[in-house]
Chains A and B, each alone.
Chain A
Amino acid sequence: MVSINYPEILRFAAQSMVRVKSPTTLMKMITRFLDKKIGVKHASIIVHDPEKDYYVFCDSKGESKLPISLIRLDMNHPIIRWFNKKKEWKNLIKEDYLSQTNINSFLADKSLISSNNQLKKNLLSIKEQMKTFKAELCVPGYYRGSLLGIFLIGAKRDKTEFNREEISLLQILASDASMTVKNAEYQQRLLKKIGELEKSVSEINRLRIRDKDKYLQTIITLAQMVDARDPYTYGHSEEINKLGMLTARQLGLDLSGDREQILSSSLILHDVGKLGVPDDVLHKKGPLNKEEWYKMRDHVRTGARILEKHDDFKEVSTIIMHHHENYDGTGYPYKLKGDEIPIQSRIISVVDAFHAMVSDRPYRKGMSYDSAIKELKRCSGTQFDPDVVRSFLKVIQKEIKL
């Protein structure tokens, strides 16, 4: 007779179970293992089908294997009832498994049977059912008190009886398998939940992106309207965008993630608040009086207010609010100084000023590039951030060469 190293087998089985995620695969592994290693005529497993509420065979292996697709065991089947209601006889019968041998010994136990006719009837019908399934041994698997399945094991091929060690091996396998089945069910439920969650998150994101694009489109249209109100600044936004992005790259500004989008939006939209400036002020040819000047200056607040309404434009709103601050703290609206001013606002300030200087106006011709560059240099450190001016000048020199 082959001697079996049970601790070794158990360790192997336990390791396998950890690896196996699908309960069906696991059951097949167990039946094959029992068939080969313990050497039984058949090893079969029935499991509870929670949808149908009966037990079905999930696998059967061995020379006298059972036709697994044919048979089901209803909840009132004697074997199922026995293991489901095992507590009924718990004080009388301690063993948690049934074998032809122990059933025979229960039936032979006069003190057990004589006073309990129902128990005798049950045991007799179980014995007959086990014979139908050619089962020598039935080992149940529970999870938190509910019967998940049963190993139905045929007689050993060497015709010896199952020993204590083999039975306890089967009990451990049954309980571990039940745990794995439950875990797999739990994992499947969890995966389903995660899937649902991911779907709704991506749906929310999709809506937000769609909303954001729509919003951006609306604001760009508004910016174009601002440009269009003054034929001499037509195309201003696109030009500012181009020069601003080049300057930022020259500066080595971090444009990862949505930073690029934020800067670009800010450059395009920086004067959107001019929508709120009356035509007579916006287009006045002579110098502005104090009241007109306040109206003009207010375009930064108006612009910021338009954009702050949408979560995705909060940062753009802040940048626009500060694009007329001066590096030395003499600008508006908050007289911020140096690094207090967002870097994107400092870039807009330089690019916007340069672009305004070189653009033609109805009442004056635009400055030459050289004069505008001189003016930027003169105001570097007072009105403008010197680092931004330096980077911008590099960009503009490359542009001129082109």
Chain B
Amino acid sequence: MSKIMIVDDELEICEFLKEFFIDRQYDVVTASNGDEALAKVDNESPQILLLDVKMPGIDGIQVLKEVKRKNPNIKVIIVTAVETDDKISEAFQLGADNYITKPLSLEDLERDVQEKISRLVEER
């Protein structure tokens, strides 16, 4: 079973997406801030991260940098309301695998996650 980690400081978003992906046969862990996310990446070794940008403390961009440094194989999808060109290009430069803005289509998100997972399988 593929493991997704959802990182968002909004509890409702974490809970909703957790349920959504559990229903779709994923293993799901959540984190509500950057520190928690980085700690759980080590312990839980998820294959894919859905990562918010604006969070108190360590923000999503820093988490992305750190995660990719630790393990470039982890797929990171940025999920954020921030839509500025420089943030987007910064994220891609740091190795983000996609950048999705809220509000998002759940179908598109699920498709994207599936695609990243299947690429992981190919890469192996």
Contacts and interface: CB of A to CB of B under 8 A. Distances in A.
B104 A70 contact: yes
A69 interface: yes
11 contacts: A66-B16, A67-B13, A70-B16, A70-B103, A71-B106, A72-B103, A72-B104, A72-B105, A74-B107, A77-B107, A132-B23
Contact of A74 (B12, B13, B105): B105
Contacts of A65: 12
Contact of A66 (B12, B23, B102, B107): B12
Contact of B105 (A66, A67, A73, A131): A73
B39 interface: no
B50 to A, nearest CB: 11
Nearest to B101: A72
B105 A77 contact: yes
Interface string A72-101: 111001000000000000000000000000
Contacts of B92: none
Contacts of B105: 54, 71-74, 77
Contacts of B12: 65-67
A56 interface: yes
Interface of B: 10, 12-13, 15-17, 20, 23, 81, 102-107
A74 B105 CA distance: 7
Contacts of B16: 66-67, 70
B103 A69 contact: yes
Contacts of A131: 23
Nearest to A72: B103
Interface residues of A, number: 15
Given A54-B103, A72-B104, 12 more contacts: A66-B12, A67-B16, A69-B10, A69-B13, A70-B16, A70-B17, A70-B103, A71-B103, A71-B104, A71-B105, A73-B105, A77-B107
A46 to B, nearest CB: 10
B26 to A, nearest CB: 14
B102 A69 contact: yes
Dominant secondary structure at the B interface: helix
Contacts of A77: 105, 107
Contacts of B15: 67
Interface of A: 54, 56-57, 65-67, 69-74, 77, 131-132
Nearest to A73: B105
A54 B102 CA distance: 12
Contacts of B23: 131-132
Contacts of B103: 54, 56-57, 69-72
> 5 tightest A-B contacts by CB?
A72-B103, A67-B12, A67-B13, A67-B16, A70-B13
B20 A132 contact: yes
Contacts of B106: 71, 132
A67 B10 contact: yes
A131 B20 CA distance: 10
A132 B12 CA distance: 14
B30 to A, nearest CB: 13
B47 to A, nearest CB: 22
B114 to A, nearest CB: 16
A203 B48 CA distance: 60
Query: Residue among A57, A69, A70, A74 with the most chain B CB within 10 A?
Result: A70
A67 B16 CA distance: 7
B105 to A, nearest CB: 5
Contacts of A132: 20, 23, 106
A79 B77 CA distance: 27
A67 B8 CA distance: 12
A66 B14 CA distance: 11
A75 B39 CA distance: 40
A72 B107 CA distance: 10
A232 to B, nearest CB: 78
A72 B17 CA distance: 14
A168 to B, nearest CB: 30
A56 B13 CA distance: 15
Contacts of A54: 103, 105
A71 B17 CA distance: 10
Contacts of B10: 67, 69-70
Nearest to B11: A67
Contacts of A71: 103-106
The listed residue with most B CB atoms (<10 A of its CB), out of A56, A65, A71, A73, is: A71
Contacts of A74: 105, 107
Contact of A69 (B17, B20, B81, B107): B81
A323 B104 CA distance: 80
A67 B105 CA distance: 13
Which of A56, A65, A72, A77 gathers the greatest number of chain B CB atoms within 10 Å?
A: A72
